[in-house]
Structure 1
Amino acid sequence: MSAILSADDLNDFISPGVACIKPVETLPAQPAPAPSSSDLEHEVILDGQQSAGAGANAAGPAQISLTDCLACSGCVTSAEAVLVSLQSHSELLSVLDSAPGLRITQQQQQQQQQQQNNGFKVEGLENPDSKIFVASVSPQTRASLAAVAGRGVSERDAGRMIAQLLMGSEGLRAGGKWNNGFTWVVDTNAAREACLVLGAEEALSEQSQVSKPILTSSCPGWVCYAEKTHPHVLPYISKVKSPQALMGTLLKTTLSRTLGISPDRIWHLAVMPCFDKKLEASREELTDSVWNGNGQPGRGVRDVDCVITSKEILMLTESRNINFFGLSQASVPAALQTPFPDPTLARFLFPPRRRTGQENPLAGTSGGNLYYTLKYVSARHPGSKIETVRGRNADVVEYTVTSAAGEPIFKAARYYGFRNIQNLVRRLKPPKLSRMPGAKVAGSRRPAGKPAGLEYAYVEVMACPGGCTNGGGQVKVDDPIVIERRGLEAKPGPQEQKQWLAQVDEAYFSAGDSDSDPEVEDVNSGMENGGDRARGDTVDGISPSYIRDTLAHWADTTGIDVDRLVYTSYREVVSDVGKDKAAGSSSTERVVQLAGKIGGGW
């Protein structure tokens, strides 16, 4: 098993298949003397398993890419990452050491010209391997590392430590072949704000193309599960991109258009709490083929090039002999920061005041999609209130927005964990026609005592019990680093893990301890009109009009329709195992296809 992921980590996830049903094909070591039933030999070997073949002609271990996993309906969880080595801290270090990074310089021109993005120059383009490095970090990752650090370290402190690692002089810049570091490190909460507004408007829109009830789509484990096993729920899944995906699109489109460089010269790292986010980054729907091509999914330049988890941050520091917990908790000095080339989007990505909405435990630890939608509905109906009813367990909760007169206005629910998700999709299963002549339509499968279908308008779905702070990529209480730093003598059990998760949640909500950060030294935060996000229409600290204006500016700057920027699509994944190969397929064509998979995971 992987050093990162073990069978114990799977917890409530659906178990993977005994064997991959879509093996990756590999070229034979020597030409076969005679045609066989299979043009190319193939073999899939799991970690610790010996090859069944022997001799020089035995096929070697197959390299399974994330794209291959997405094309297979045999596995549906983070266990897919056991077979994949593409997106890792090792890959990150390899890319950093491949060539000198591109340098962004700001020319000494008039302020008006700078606001028109004419004051930035990219140096180092003569080297085709040079790139700009940019990273986005999730609040759940910061909370996990804050809990490991202990001693009163807040989520914000952990965020500065991560920034010091990626950008600072004592971090990645201190080593490696080229002393490369990241030019920008952004908070995914910026994209989260946009996703919350877009999701709430989608839930209330009468012209929405998504069927009701709308199911959230920011959890890639849930999306993969639906695509591979329950395609009947795909029309219900929200088309709003996740914060990771939206941030990737924003960074790649804006930087490529404003700096006049190809999107493949921008390398985007996302630091997430979940292994399934690696799968999301590999989706063909989240590449420049959509926004820079014909608008259709394809194997283009990814919006997110690599995803590493909270655990892998510690593995990254260990690889470079950096003591993560010894890094400074101060902001990265301004001398190491570069102004973002678009001032309007700079204010959005680097706001001078701390975001709100992450300090309320009622919002949960998965971004608060449902909570914000409830607040959005309540704000439209003065005097209304939100009522909650707990379901069969803590991960199933029903919500109702009632008017001042006590009439229900909006019903929603939260379903966390695959066991609960299975009950949800059963209730959405369409009626089945009986094959008996004259028989009536059979009702959908559903738990006893529950009506057919769902009476909700909106459902927040997450694969992990407890939400994203309990993601598979988070640092667990039984990890060696936690045992060492806490001085634990015995291996922690389930009760200790529960207490540990409570500490991570506490760190997650510590982000709202204060509204402003006087110690921030950010070259992007001093721009004019930095407070324009605080408008009179704010809902839970987020202004929908500000978000709409920012999205409109983004679309105008890049020349791309806003719908193509913020929405995505889904498709049923059907296994082709046991089916005839496409007519006219030849060995040459298949070799070309295999060659195309080499490099970049495609």
Structure 2
Amino acid sequence: MSAILSADDLNDFISPGVACIKPIETIPAPQQDATTSSSEPEVILDGQQPQPRAPAQISLTDCLACSGCVTSAEAVLVSLQSHAEVLSVLDAAPALELVYDKQSGSVGVRGLENPDSKLLIASVSPQTRASLAAAASLGHHAGKRVTDQQAGWMIEHLFRGERGLRQGGKFKNGFTWIVDTNAAREACLLLGADEVLDQQGSAATNTGKVIAPVLTASCPGWVCYAEKTHPHVLPHLSRVKSPQALTGTLLKTTLSRILGIPPSRIWHLAIMPCFDKKLEASREELTDAVWGNNSTAMDFTTGGIGKSKGKGARDVDCVITSKEILMLAASRDLDFFDMPRSAPPSEQPAFPDPIIHRFLFPSSSRHRKQPRDAGTSGGNLFFILHTIQSRHPGSQIQTTRGRNADVVEFSVVQPSSGEILFRAARYYGFRNIQNLVRKLKPAKASRMPGGKPFGSARRPTLGVAGSRSATGLDYGYVEVMACPGGCTNGGGQIKVDDQVIVDREIFGEKPGPQEQKAWLAEVDEAYFSADEPDNGASGLCDDSEKDLVAGISPSRVRDTLAHWSKITGIQLDKLVYTSYREVVSDVGKRQMTDTERVVQLAGKIGGGW
């Protein structure tokens, strides 16, 4: 487990669990005497040492089955998914290599005879690049700000370049591809807008229709909190996968089908701003058990490899955070901030499918701009508002500040008539989220004959205090994120009081909340530093892309998704949507007697004694 991960570092948790509900599994002693009764007490002679029991092993999946912990506090139990796990995989065996046949255009894989060899791929979030860019700007090149793009090149040098991880280790392994999650994010934004507008009629086909207001579900801390404490909001959660999850599914399905290797031979590392992303990667809903044929029964024969076993191969095998990037580099005696800030000399190898390659590695002429109005959490709400605005010419987007900076209401209004076409909101931070879920709580039926329901559902609107619409129109969408300020302030990001920042003495010896606020402004500036492409291109897309909405071409994304489904032979619903479930635990709850249970049931039906 990473040494940097502790409860003291986590700023987005609600309450720690008082107990772990996972039972300690004990294995019967070998060759036990059949004549000995298992109910007999164990006798230990004076001075004799009792047989020690093996320590309980608690995995991330076990944490997800427990409601004792709520959000990032669960990550303290992580035994894998750290920079040490990355090193372990790098040193386990020689990495699989792609072999391109220029004459036939086919792609093969070298090294399948070693069952421990894997094809190594990494995906990087823009918030991670922003955090590392801001930290690099404080180094010996102070005065020349490091951009988002330059930070991406530094990461690529670390994972692919000759001056990076390839310098050390037993096999000098490096990663084949470094993918930007912004590519999958474009698909997530489009699918999320379709879900809200219900254009396709296919959203969440396998999991049931989403109920308005639709709530963002790309923040795993918020999803865990909802599943464990407020199951009444689950029907409102968007079924669209997060960019991390969708990237993993895209990579593993496409490569496993085209290369003819099982998904377990493809090792996908995600570099994220949040510890809770480790929890997301461990969800059983995000494995090949969902999109594979006959659950986990994917029939691969290449290299003599059998079918996937157990609960399925994860779409994302490991997640590390921005902080852990620095630890990973240090473990190979490298200084991340010494990595070159220019493009690597060799381009990334061609992805086996050209259409998917253009989607994952867009040209510089189709530079993805980060609009400042979209915020630092991916722009889900921003894209939906602009999608609706594009369908109502002349409409305007109005903004109303809530009780604090992390609660904002948005309205798409037709100025000529004053009609409110759509209302939405942004709720960041758990304090605001708790207010939101209370407003979503369904009304309780009255026990009195003819009595009216009481509770939150009787409120005419979900609007921000003091800005209630005269029409009583509820929100159509709410962007929900656990961290105050959004994803650039994730728990795995570099903080102002981290040693790497303190050593530079930019914010003083003992930085406090105000210094952290100033530091977060630096990270946000780095996040938006991609506003101007280095090549001076003024456009955001190719000339063929004329149907832009907030810088994204819906037709291009839809065509790519349709092509993905076709080449993999998997229904698009299985690829892009996920599901959620209520998690129930008896931790800290007193068990009711039969008499108490009967009394409770009698009270619910209006009787009683």
* Partner AA of 2:500 in structure 1: I
SS of 1:333's partner is coil
Letter of the 2:278 partner, please give it.
K
Distance verdict in 2 for CA 1:66–1:272, change over 3 Å: same
CA contact (8 A) 1:281 1:306 kept: yes
Question: Aligned pair in 2 of structure 1 residues 556, 136: CA closer, same or farther (>3 Å)?
Answer: same
**Alpha carbons 2:147, 2:529 under 8 Å: kept:** yes
The answer on whether the counterparts of 1:10 and 1:472 sit within 8 Å (CA) in structure 2 is: yes
Counterpart position of 2:107: 120
Q: What do residues 190-214 of structure 1 show as CA deviations (whole Å, max 9, x unaligned)?
A: 0001101111111111635111000
Q: Corresponding residue for 2:381?
A: 370
Q: Residue 556 of structure 2: SS of its match in structure 1?
A: helix
- Residue number in structure 1 paired with 2:364: 353
- The alignment status of 1:505 with 2:511, answered yes or no, reads no
Distance 2:312 2:369 in 1: 34
Partner of 1:585: none
Q: Secondary structure at the match of 1:485?
A: coil
Q: Given that residues 118 and 267 in structure 2 are in contact (C-alpha distance below 8 angstroms), is that contact kept between their aligned partners in structure 1? A: yes
Deviation at 1:559, TM superposition (A): 0.7
Pairing 1:69–2:56 present: no
Task: Decide which of 321, 327, 352 is 2:333's aligned counterpart.
Answer: 321
For residues 267 and 414 of structure 2, the distance between their equivalents in structure 1, rounded to whole angstroms, comes to 49
Q: 2:430 aligns with which of 411, 418, 430?
A: 418
Q: Which residue of 2 aligns with 1:3?
A: 3
Deviation at 1:265, TM superposition (A): 0.6
Q: CA contact under 8 A between 2:12 and 2:491: conserved in structure 1?
A: no
Shift of 1:294: 3.6
The answer on whether the counterparts of 1:357 and 1:540 sit within 8 Å (CA) in structure 2 is no
Is residue 367–residue 541 contact of structure 2 (8 Å, CA) maintained in 1?
Answer: no
Question: Aligned pair in 2 of structure 1 residues 517, 302: CA closer, same or farther (>3 Å)?
Answer: farther
Map 1:16-415; keep pairs closer than 5 Å: 16-27=16-27, 35=38, 56-109=50-103, 113-114=104-105, 119-150=106-137, 151=142, 152-205=145-198, 207=201, 208=203, 209-294=209-294, 299-334=311-346, 337-353=348-364, 358-405=369-416, 406-415=418-427
Q: Distance in 1 between matches of 2:531 and 2:269?
A: 26
Unaligned runs of 5+ in 2: 43-47, 204-208, 298-309, 592-609
TM-score (norm 2): 0.84
1:94-151 deviations in whole A, cap 9, x for unaligned? 0111110111011121xxx53xxxx211111111111100000000000000111113
- 2:606 maps to what in 1? none
Kept after mapping to 1: 8 A contact 2:2/2:82: no
What percent identity do the matched residue pairs reach? Answer: 66
SS for the counterpart of 2:560 is: helix
Q: Do the aligned residues in 2 keep the contact of 1:63 with 1:84 (CA within 8 Å)?
A: no
Question: Is residue 435 of structure 1 aligned with residue 438 of structure 2?
Answer: no
**In structure 2, what is the Cα distance between the partners aligned to 1:237 and 1:465?**
20
Rounded to whole Å, the distance in 1 between the matches of 2:217 and 2:344 is: 34
Q: Which moved more, 1:99-108 or 1:496-505?
A: 99-108
Q: Give the letter aligned to residue 414 of structure 1.
A: R
Residue in structure 2 matched with residue 589 of structure 1 by the alignment = none
Change (3 A) 1:66 1:364: same
Letter in 2 for 1:132: L
SS at match of 1:217: coil
In the aligned structure 1, how far is the partner of 2:534 from the partner of 2:334?
32
Inter-CA distance 556–426: structure 2 relative to 1 (3 Å threshold): same
The alpha-carbon distance between structure 1 residues 122 and 385, as it changes in their structure 2 partners (threshold 3 A), is: same
Map 1:481-520 → 2, pairs under 5 A: 481-486=500-505, 489-514=508-533, 516=535
- Structure 1 residues 160, 29: CA separation in 2 closer, same or farther (over 3 Å shift)? farther
Contact 1:281 1:302 (C-alpha < 8 Å) held by counterparts: yes
**Alignment correspondent of 1:43:** none
- 1:506 and 1:13, CA in 2 relative to 1: closer, same or farther beyond 3 A? same
CA distance in 1 between counterparts of 2:77 and 2:49 reads 24
Equivalent of 2:569 in 539, 545, 559: 559
Distance 1:266 1:38 in 2: 50
SS of the equivalent of 1:145 reads helix
Equivalent residue pairs, number: 547
Letter in 1 for 2:267: W
Structure 1, gaps ≥5 residues long: 40-53, 519-529, 581-602
1:508-537 deviations in whole A, cap 9, x for unaligned?
00012227489xxxxxxxxxxx96585111
What is the identity, as a one-letter code, of the residue corresponding to 1:185? I
Larger Cα Rg: Structure 1 or Structure 2? 2
Cα deviation 1:262-286 (Å, max 9, x = unaligned) = 1111000000000000000000110
- Give the conservation status (yes or no) of the 8 Å contact 2:365–2:542: no
Separation (CA, whole Å) in 2 of partners of 1:397 and 1:417: 12
C-alpha contact (below 8 Å) 1:291/1:560 kept by paired residues: yes
Shift of 1:69: 0.4
What TM-score do the two structures reach when normalised by structure 1?
0.85
**Equivalent pair of 2:366/2:542 in contact (CA under 8 Å):** no
Aligned CA-pair RMSD: 2.9
Residue 485 (structure 2) aligns with: 466
Alpha-carbon distance change, 78 to 189 in structure 1, aligned in 2, over 3 angstroms:
same
